[in-house]
Amino acid sequence: MISRREFCHKAVIAVGGIMIPLTALELFDPRRLAAEKGGSGTTRWAFLVDAHKCVGCGFCVKSCKIENQTPYDSNVSRTWVERYVVTKDGNTYIDSPKACRDGFTTTKIDQNHQGMKDIRTEDVAKAFFVPKLCNQCDNPPCVQVCPVGATYQTEDGVVLVDRSWCIGCGYCVMGCPYGVRFFHPEHHVAEKCNFCYHRITKGMKTACVDACPFGARRIGNLRDKDDPVTKVIMTERVNVLKEEYGTKPQVFYLGLSMEVK
Amino acid sequence: MKNHVLRPLIVVGVIVASMLVARAIVVPSDFGVHERGYMYGWHRLSNEQEWKAVQVRYKTSAGCPRCHPDKAADLANSPHNIISCENCHGPALEHPKDPAGYFIDRSRTLCIRCHAKLPYGNTPRGRIRGIDPDKHYVQAECVMCHIPHNPKPTNQKQEVKS
């Protein structure tokens, strides 16, 4: 027969034991803690898009598709350029035909199943082009949802996909708020912009940066205080896409308009 | 221990052991938590090297003037000198070793990327000299009249080459 005193004693021990989380039993590793608190490396890649300078020529998309071997005639692309036309009656029309691979060559705006919408010159209130690419977020939701560890972030902040490890479940394609991920038509695994990782790690710039004649796209290292791109990001009025999602995007925009989604 | 307890324990032990063996074979040794911690750094480390080893196709315009100084001189005072050579001439790849593998894009579609007139006066695009591709010499290639390396007005009509 258990006494009341003994019962209370054992109950307290049991409840206390249950409440110890498993992580409390793990050995403390300061190196891992440092890594999780923003990293210790000397490089953190960031991108700067100057939307004021973009003319919608699409050379960036063309070079990206060839450099990274995205099938040229497929409708998917690691980067693309959107056209925004705001009319005087307050409507916004957005299109990106073939991801802007061949540039914008007509005033007609592709409205998908509603056909091509031609907007008369006198109705245009403002128009502009917005290049888009992977934001290499500091909190990448696409990486969180990967069930197998096929997509991950490197120490320098670039999110990569391990093609031999991806099972093609598509969670990351759904999880990205910016719609930058897609399935590679030939490899049948998740595909995304990786800031031309094979180029930036050799000291080169990305293919799209090299292809842009107008300097609308630039890449830099945020941990280098003397980097011209870092200086712009730190001192000028830059914006990011969908800040409210908390993803901490590392692609910064100059001249972003409120119509941009 | 009694037989009916021991036998299921052996089965469980064999299953666990075979799973551990399979895991050791299937999961690469460098798979694990790396720099970005549990949340974002869970991956196979050698994949980073695989991405770094991807072939560079666009080699930039830096090396072009060494063998093509005449073209570089043409371009020097031209508004087209902001355009990378590879945008029209294609990625260099192994170009100096393999001249035959080179393709020059002389198509109208290349030029009208910038020179199709769009009435967006608030953007630099609206300020680029442009044409209506459906009306301006539809049947002709642009390079029949315009010299791409220096399209300034004085050179606009290409002289007939003898």
ipTM: 0.85
Whether A162 and B44 lie within 8 Å, measured CB to CB: yes
pLDDT in tens, chain B (162 residues): 678 889 999 999 999 999 999 999 988 999 989 888 888 999 999 999 999 999 999 999 998 999 999 999 989 889 999 999 999 998 988 887 876 666 788 899 999 999 999 999 889 999 999 999 999 999 888 988 888 998 876 555 555 443
Q: Do B31 and A210 touch (CB under 8 A)?
A: no
Q: Quick count: other Cβ atoms within 10 Å of Cβ A139?
A: 14
Across the interface, whether the CB atoms of A213 and B82 are under 8 A apart is answered yes
Chain B hits for A250, Cβ within 8 Å: none
Asked whether the beta carbons of residue A210 and residue B60 sit closer than 8 angstroms, the reply is yes
Helix (H, G, I), strand (E, B) or coil at B13: helix
Inter-chain contact A127–B84, Cβ cutoff 8 Å? no
Question: What's the confidence (pLDDT) of residue B150?
Answer: 86
Distance CA A168, CA A177 (A): 18
Q: Is B68 helix (H, G, I), strand (E, B) or coil?
A: coil
Element (H, E) at B51: helix B46-52
Q: What is the 3-state secondary structure (H, E, C) of chain A?
A: CCCHHHHHHHHHHHHHHHHCCHHHHCCCCHHHHHHHCCCCCCCCEEEEEECCCCCCCCHHHHHHHHHCCCCCCCCCCCCEEEEEEEECCCCEEEECHHHHCCCCCCCEEECHHHCEEECCHHHEEEEEEEEECCCCCCCCHHHHCCCCCCEEECCCCCEEECCCCCCCCCHHHHHCCCCCCEECCCCCCEECCCCCHHHHCCCCCCHHHHHCCCCCEEEEECCCCCCHHHHHHHHCCCECCCHHHCCCCCEEEECCCCCCC
Nearest-CA neighbor of B30 among B43, B39, B41, B18? B43
Bridge partners (DSSP) of residue A83 are: A95, A129
At residue B65, φ and ψ (nearest 5 deg) are: -65, -20
Are the C-beta atoms of A183 and A170 separated by less than 8 Å? yes
Contacts for A79 with CB less than 8 Å, ≥ 6 apart: A60, A61, A64, A99, A131, A132, A133, A193, A208
Q: How many Å lie between the alpha carbon of B98 and the closest alpha carbon of chain A?
A: 18
Which residues are CB-neighbours of B29 under 8 A, at least 6 positions away? Answer: none
* Residues on chain B touching A214 (C-beta within 8 angstroms): 82, 124
Q: Go through the domains of chain A in sequence order and give each one's CATH number.
A: 141-191 (3.30.70.20)
Gap from B151 CA to chain A (nearest CA, Å): 16
Per-residue pLDDT of A23-37, as tens digits, reads 666 665 655 555 555
> What local confidence, expressed as pLDDT, does residue A8 receive?
92
Task: For residue A162, give the nearest of B40, B43, B128 by CB distance.
Answer: B43
- Residue pair A133/B20 in contact (Cβ under 8 Å)? The answer is no
